[in-house]
């Protein structure tokens, strides 16, 4: 049963991601990990964490230290879902044999590079097979751990080291993939987007993802001040603006569009430019010759919002 997010109760919980790790100052991925682990404790289940190579892994487990106070397993960039599938299958086998008496849940963390791109095949297969796990994609919109290279999640127009800004190209020339809807189309038991700036929504969704039977996928907006080129203390401000401008809408899907719900509808339309101007990776878009990219981003955001409204109208519970 999903429990209300009670801040007093959460403040009394044990921190399962210990302080003293080496994530960058202001890193939102660390905030996400803490919120996920606190929400997981609300369910009452024991759980094991699977962690793909990436910022969250390398900066929390520098040998011989670890910041994780739960059973934890590292795997390569591309096989987090495969590892999680194996662990989940082992838990089921031990329960069938009577060796294990309690339910143990599997939580997987992967960045956008290890999820959108090089790990997508493993994730797609694991969802098709119906493994019971919660997959968390902390999406910082590039391969931040290896040098800020563009990924399939990098937005149109963004500067990265492999989508540089110059006379030939004004940053990344493609829109990002819409992975949450791709996962929902697979028929995952539960699919959602979340934002740590809206932490009660995030933590409620984590509980749902853990408690539902079958594969669950939640994609979380993970600001990276190093790659996005802004001050360390404004990550949550940038994240909140992403949802207010509808560049990062919050919604959830049960099954293969059995139910679709938009969780937050901004009271007014805020131009995406308000989000763009907070980040140095988009600074070049304000040159006259590049202003069309801002207009194209706005067009795509408006089109996507209308698509989500139609999905809710068609598949939302009446």
Q: What is the mean pLDDT of residues 236-253?
A: 98
What pLDDT is attached to residue 3? 82
Q: Is the pLDDT of residue 125 over 70?
A: yes
Least confident window among 3-17, 22-36, 74-88, 202-216 = 3-17
The predicted structure's pLDDT at residue 6: 87
96-121, pLDDT tens digit by residue?
999 999 999 999 999 999 999 999 99
Give mean pLDDT, residues 60-87. 96
Transcribe the chain into DSSP letters: -PPP--HHHHHTS--SB-TT--PPTT-HHHHHHHHHHHHHHHHT-EEEEEEESSHHHHTT--TT---B-S-EEEE-TT-HHHHHHHHHHHHHHHHHTTS--S-EEEEEEEESIIIIITTHHHHHHHHHHT---EEEEEE-SSBTTTTSB--TTPPTT--BTTB-BSSS-BS--SPPP-HHHHHHHHT-SEEEEE-GGGHHHHHHHHHHHHHSSS-EEEEEE---HHHHTS-GGGHHHHHHHHHHTTSS--EEEETTTTEEEE----SS---THHHHTT-GGGGGGGSGGGHHHHHHHHHHHHHHHHHHHHHHHHHS--
Task: Output the pTM of the full model.
Answer: 0.97
pLDDT at residue 228 in the model: 98
For 6-29, the pLDDT digits (tens) are 889 999 999 999 999 999 999 999
Mean pLDDT across the chain, nearest whole number? 97
Does position 291 have pLDDT exceeding 70, yes or no?
Answer: yes
Q: Read off the pLDDT of each residue in 286-291 and give the average, rounded to a whole number.
A: 97
Q: Which residues, in sequence order, are CB contacts of 200 under 8 Å at separation 6+? A: 5
Q: Rounded to an integer, what distance in angstroms lies between the CA atom of residue 248 and that of residue 300?
A: 12
How confident is the model over 84-106, as a mean pLDDT?
97
Q: pLDDT at residue 286 above 70?
A: yes
For residue 236, the model assigns a pLDDT of 98
Is the pLDDT assigned to residue 318 strictly greater than 80? no
* Spatial separation of the C-alpha atoms in residues 154 and 61, rounded to whole Å: 26
* Residue showing tokens 């740590």: 196
């Amino acid at each position: 049963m999903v429990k209300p997010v009670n801040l007093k109760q959460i403040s009394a919980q044990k921190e399962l991601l210990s302080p003293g790790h080496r994530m960058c100052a202001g890193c939102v991925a660390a905030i996400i990990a803490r919120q996920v682990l606190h929400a997981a404790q609300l369910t009452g289940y024991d759980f094991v964490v699977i962690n793909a190579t990436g910022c969250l892994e390398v900066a929390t487990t520098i040998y011989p230290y670890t910041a994780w106070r739960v059973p934890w397993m590292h795997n390569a960039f591309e096989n987090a879902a495969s590892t999680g599938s194996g662990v989940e299958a082992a838990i089921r086998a031990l329960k069938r044999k009577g060796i294990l008496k309690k339910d143990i849940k599997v939580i997987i963390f992967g960045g956008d590079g290890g999820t959108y791109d090089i790990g997508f095949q493993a994730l797609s297969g694991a969802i098709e097979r119906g493994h019971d796990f919660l997959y968390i994609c902390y999406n910082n919109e590039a391969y931040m751990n290896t040098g800020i290279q563009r990924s399939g999640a990098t937005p149109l127009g963004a500067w990265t080291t492999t989508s540089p800004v110059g006379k030939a190209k004004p940053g990344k020339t493609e829109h990002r993939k819409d992975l949450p809807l791709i996962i929902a189309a697979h028929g995952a038991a539960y699919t959602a987007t979340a934002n740590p700036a809206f932490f009660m929504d995030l933590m409620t969704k984590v509980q749902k993802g853990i408690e539902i039977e079958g594969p669950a996928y939640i994609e979380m907006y993970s600001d990276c001040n190093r790659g996005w080129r802004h001050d360390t203390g404004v990550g949550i401000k940038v994240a909140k603006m992403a949802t207010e401008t509808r560049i990062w809408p919050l919604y959830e899907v049960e099954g293969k569009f059995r139910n679709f719900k938009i969780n937050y509808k901004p009271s007014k339309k805020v131009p995406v430019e308000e989000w763009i101007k907070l980040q140095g990776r988009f600074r070049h878009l304000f040159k006259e010759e590049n202003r069309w990219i801002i207009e194209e981003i706005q067009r795509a955001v408006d089109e996507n919002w209308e698509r989500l409204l139609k999905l809710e109208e068609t598949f939302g519970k009446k």
